[in-house]
Structure 1
Amino acid sequence: MKGGCMLLNSRMHQKLTIGAALVSLLCCCSGSHICDGVEDETPVHHLSTKTSYFNAEKDESYWENFKKEVWGCAAQQMWLLNRHGTRYPTQNDIGSLMNTLPSMSQQIEANHHQGRGCLRQEDLEQISNWFPPYSSRDKEQLQEVGYDELFSIGEYWRNMFPHLFNVTYDPAKFKVDYTVKNRTGQSAYHFFRGMFGEDAVGNIEFPQPYSPNFILRFYKACPRWLREVYKNNETTYKERRLFVQTEEFQSMAHAVSARLGFMHPLKPREIVAIYDECRYETAWWPARRSAWCSAFSPSDFEVMEYHQDLKYYYEDSYGHPLNSKTACRTLADLYTNMRMTVNNGVAKPQGIFYFAHDKTIFKVLAGLGLFRPPQHLKHNNFAEMRNRYWRTSFVSPFSANVAFVLYRCGLEFKVGTFFQGQPTPLKEICQGVTCRWEEISPWLNENYKTCDLSKLCMMHDEL
């Protein structure tokens, strides 16, 4: 029955346990709630940190005012922080997915043959014949669509500022850095391929990554953050644990389980595995729909996104004050480069390009006060936060980027902030879409010029 439940005949009912019959009854009698939603399209722009850059929402509402503010100005220097592009799963994720999904796919097929579940035939066939599209050698590597994302971003900035970037590459004019993870180096390569062209990129001498990198991966070198935030299961992940126990999450778990024909609610880790495969496949192959996504209705996707948001909000953003403070070296680097250009009148370098990870993006955005929600995300305010601006799908999809462009406007300088390539006002720092140097400079100077990570992170206590 397309888009609905497979109805049980009397003979099937006799063979099924009472639990199975109840699940079937739940599915069939509540079709509008559980079964009908499977035909809806996957919300490709709301898949948390696994959202493709090409699908991510971008706020274009500030362009008109931005153009007015920089009319007659000339861009002098650009500072860019870019998350790596769409990647393959981590080693841990590959292990979890391969340990869960192959056997589950066979069970889902068996469930439907026994009259339970309500997947469409084409989705059932795709799941039944599913084979992991990756192996351990692919772990954490950039996936092909990630090449395209970074290429398009490099091309975008070249077209935006041709006098800065539509030029012959000169190592004296451009600085590039990335972390020790291959995916960030690969991202840098494809970004430069888009910015300077196929022929030029082969002649660019990329730097050797190093660790610890206090600008791009500062959190890994911060014992205090690792202890108080990242490894603090009691407080950092408390809201997420409590959310799993809420009616919203439990209803989603029951609906997903019934949709797939299981006689008992799946475990949260099993639902997360299905959700992760759905998200990865959606990012990798935007032209086709992953059958794993058919387990979720639109409202289920909202619940799963919030489940992810509760993790990253406390682990990497406004949920803990230490998160934004650890980004001080990164923002100090922004301030130092632009201050030198303002003081000297010459941009050296004129392009600073950094490639890092979602954790870096989250913390830098929090350090700037961008997208700060009016209240903390909690396990019990899902309904109130439904239209929140801070959501991982928006704040840090694959290839997320934040850029600062220093403009000379006659005798003064202005700084334009771009998020995902769109003008974005720093509302906690200045009034306009852009900031006058006299506005942003004192703020950066006060908050980030002096950055003692050793003291902040208590490194001396750990060594």
Structure 2
Amino acid sequence: MIKFQKCAKMMWEASVLVGVMVWCCCEGLHVCDGVDRATPTHRLSTKTAYFNADKDTTHWSDFNKEVEGCFAEQVWLLNRHGTRFPTQNDMHGLLDILPGVSQKIVANHQQGRGCLKQSELEQLQNWIPPYDLRDKEQLQETGQDELAAIGEEWRNFLPHLFDQPFHPAKFKVDFTVKNRTGQSAYHFLRGMFGDEAVGNIELPQPYSPNFVLRFYKACPRWVKEVYKNKETTYKERQLFVETEDFKNTAHGVSARLGFMHPLSLDELVAVYDECRYETAFWAGRDSVWCSPFTDDDFEVMEYYQDLKYYYEDSYGHPLNLKTACRTLADLFMHFRSTVNDGEAKPQGIFYFAHDKTIFKVLASFGLFRPAQHLRHDNFKSMKDRVWRTSFVSPFSANLAFVLYRCGDGKEENHKVGVFFEGQPTPLPDVCRGVTCRWEELRPWLAEQHATCDLGKLCMLHDEL
């Protein structure tokens, strides 16, 4: 396909000279080849719907052996919010760009340029954005279903803990000041305790700054050195836009939409983003905005996203891992109290936050660390990377720790199961098995707790 995309680029460059797009075969490949295929719904970066995301089920057999005869006492769960509508800034961009682009695409095809089918052109001709500014950042219906399903799965997995009425002494719930996390908490509890019961659950008031769930926003050093540091944090992404791989995608997508010039970066990203949102919103329905992308194009656009989040929120900057120490300390203190007291209070800790939280906590545990840093010039060699945003933080991504008592309840007879997206997940940097012996995990968590000084690390002040 790379060969074809280079061909498409050459055709576009040649056509500019004569003022007309040439729709013909080039080295045996037609410009419209490769677009009539299903959208890879599991590879849409952080806009991948939870129901579409890849799940690693390979460790269940070993996990079941390691916890045989053990009793689950406590669950600590960190959940990203579910599928949402675009943020305010993203929504403004989509609403400003896409209506005009859709009409230009239709006009291009009326003039004999482009690769879309008649049914797709009719969709674009009648396209109305599936949201307005009142919906910004709110949980979409699919997101509600995702969280309810996750809550129900945990109730079914550990019925002795969760198949009972909700009581605040037994279940701790916390979320950030953003509406979508509070809505996610509500629908998670709806799935776990039922539609009738959830209406009687009084959710806590969110607060800010929240050093467990949104620590990065209260870390001026992170904001300055990472988030707003365009020269370093976003350097690899900016360089990737200048590579042949990315240019081939920009030219190929533009040509399939009938344009006689490449779409601007903002236009290309807007088309890609709408494709991702609509795919997440409606399972089983093809978004017309996905039509011009080939499988190779989706790979390129996913890597474009990966280069942002890798440096902004994960292994690309050492500060990302350090700022999550209060979250790890919270896990340590809850489990230590249960082991020492012999009783779980509470028995379920449910937290609802954002992709930035998930990215940083996963990196703190060394999970899904790639063999080498993602860079603009190693796209091809990193195609089989273990760190990709589509897998690491889709909508509703979640990381859970389950404390098991095995035997007489002494400290040495406790184990911890780690679950990512509901699947057993080893911690190879910390523990030797699929589960962790508490004696292995405790000193590691204790070190994070003892050395966690966000005031020194970040010069803490109120959330920005």
- Give the distance between the partners of 2:15 and 2:379, measured in 1 at CA: 34
Q: CA deviation at 1:448?
A: 3.0
Match of 2:124 in 1: 127
Identical pairs, percent = 71
In the alignment, is the contact (CA less than 8 A) between 1:242 and 1:379 conserved in 2? yes
Match of 2:4 in 1: none
Distance 1:306 1:27, change over 3 A: farther
Does residue 70 (structure 1) correspond to residue 71 (structure 2)? The answer is no
Distance 1:121 1:94, change over 3 A: same
Match of 1:361 in 2: 358
Match of 1:11 in 2: none
Distance 1:130 1:68, change over 3 A: same
- Give the distance between the partners of 1:227 and 1:282, measured in 2 at CA: 34
Match of 2:337 in 1: 340
Match of 2:253 in 1: 256
Distance 1:31 1:168, change over 3 A: farther
SS at match of 2:380: coil
- After TM superposition, list the pairs within 5 Å mapping 1:186-335 onto structure 2: 186-335=183-332
Match of 2:452 in 1: 451
In the alignment, is the contact (CA less than 8 A) between 1:214 and 1:329 conserved in 2? yes
In the alignment, is the contact (CA less than 8 A) between 2:45 and 2:389 conserved in 1? yes
- Give the distance between the partners of 2:216 and 2:236, measured in 1 at CA: 22
Match of 1:390 in 2: 387
Does residue 439 (structure 1) correspond to residue 436 (structure 2)? The answer is no
- Give the distance between the partners of 1:22 and 1:30, measured in 2 at CA: 22
Moved more, 452-461 or 436-445: 452-461
**1:115 aligned to which of 109, 112, 121:** 112
- Give the distance between the partners of 2:171 and 2:91, measured in 1 at CA: 37
Give the letter aligned to residue 89 of structure 2: N
SS at match of 2:79: strand
SS at match of 1:416: strand
Distance 1:277 1:31, change over 3 A: farther
In the alignment, is the contact (CA less than 8 A) between 1:108 and 1:128 conserved in 2? no
Match of 2:10 in 1: none
- After TM superposition, list the pairs within 5 Å mapping 1:133-148 onto structure 2: 133-148=130-145
Q: CA deviation at 1:458?
A: 2.4
Match of 1:87 in 2: 84
SS at match of 1:233: coil
In the alignment, is the contact (CA less than 8 A) between 1:240 and 1:310 conserved in 2? yes
1:29-72 deviations in Å (ceiling 9; x for gaps): 37847412111100000000000000000000000000000000
Match of 2:373 in 1: 376
Extract unaligned runs of 5+ from structure 1. 1-16
Distance 1:384 1:454, change over 3 A: same
In the alignment, is the contact (CA less than 8 A) between 1:23 and 1:262 conserved in 2? no
1:300-339 deviations in Å (ceiling 9; x for gaps): 0000000000000000000000001000000100000000
Give the letter aligned to residue 52 of structure 1: A
- Give the distance between the partners of 2:25 and 2:217, measured in 1 at CA: 50
Moved more, 118-127 or 130-139: 118-127
- Give the distance between the partners of 1:33 and 1:413, measured in 2 at CA: 62
Q: CA deviation at 1:194?
A: 0.4
Q: CA deviation at 1:81?
A: 0.2
1:391-419 deviations in Å (ceiling 9; x for gaps): 00000000000000000011400000000
Q: CA deviation at 1:267?
A: 1.1
How many pairs were matched up? 447
SS at match of 1:376: coil
1:244-285 deviations in Å (ceiling 9; x for gaps): 000000000000000000111111111100000000000001
In the alignment, is the contact (CA less than 8 A) between 1:253 and 1:265 conserved in 2? yes
1:144-168 deviations in Å (ceiling 9; x for gaps): 0111000000000000000000011
- Give the distance between the partners of 2:91 and 2:25, measured in 1 at CA: 34
Extract unaligned runs of 5+ from structure 2. 1-13
In the alignment, is the contact (CA less than 8 A) between 2:55 and 2:423 conserved in 1? yes
Match of 2:8 in 1: none
- Give the distance between the partners of 2:33 and 2:232, measured in 1 at CA: 38
- Give the distance between the partners of 2:15 and 2:438, measured in 1 at CA: 71
In the alignment, is the contact (CA less than 8 A) between 2:44 and 2:302 conserved in 1? yes
Match of 1:183 in 2: 180
Match of 1:5 in 2: none
In the alignment, is the contact (CA less than 8 A) between 2:402 and 2:416 conserved in 1? yes
Match of 2:41 in 1: 44
Give the letter aligned to residue 399 of structure 1: S
- Give the distance between the partners of 1:460 and 1:170, measured in 2 at CA: 33
Match of 2:160 in 1: 163
Does residue 154 (structure 1) correspond to residue 145 (structure 2)? The answer is no
Distance 1:462 1:285, change over 3 A: closer
Q: CA deviation at 1:18?
A: 4.6
Q: CA deviation at 1:447?
A: 2.4
Match of 2:423 in 1: 422
Give the letter aligned to residue 454 of structure 1: G
Distance 1:126 1:462, change over 3 A: closer
- Give the distance between the partners of 1:378 and 1:438, measured in 2 at CA: 38
- Give the distance between the partners of 2:178 and 2:454, measured in 1 at CA: 22
In the alignment, is the contact (CA less than 8 A) between 2:219 and 2:460 conserved in 1? yes
- Give the distance between the partners of 1:444 and 1:128, measured in 2 at CA: 56
Give the letter aligned to residue 444 of structure 1: L
Q: CA deviation at 1:459?
A: 3.1
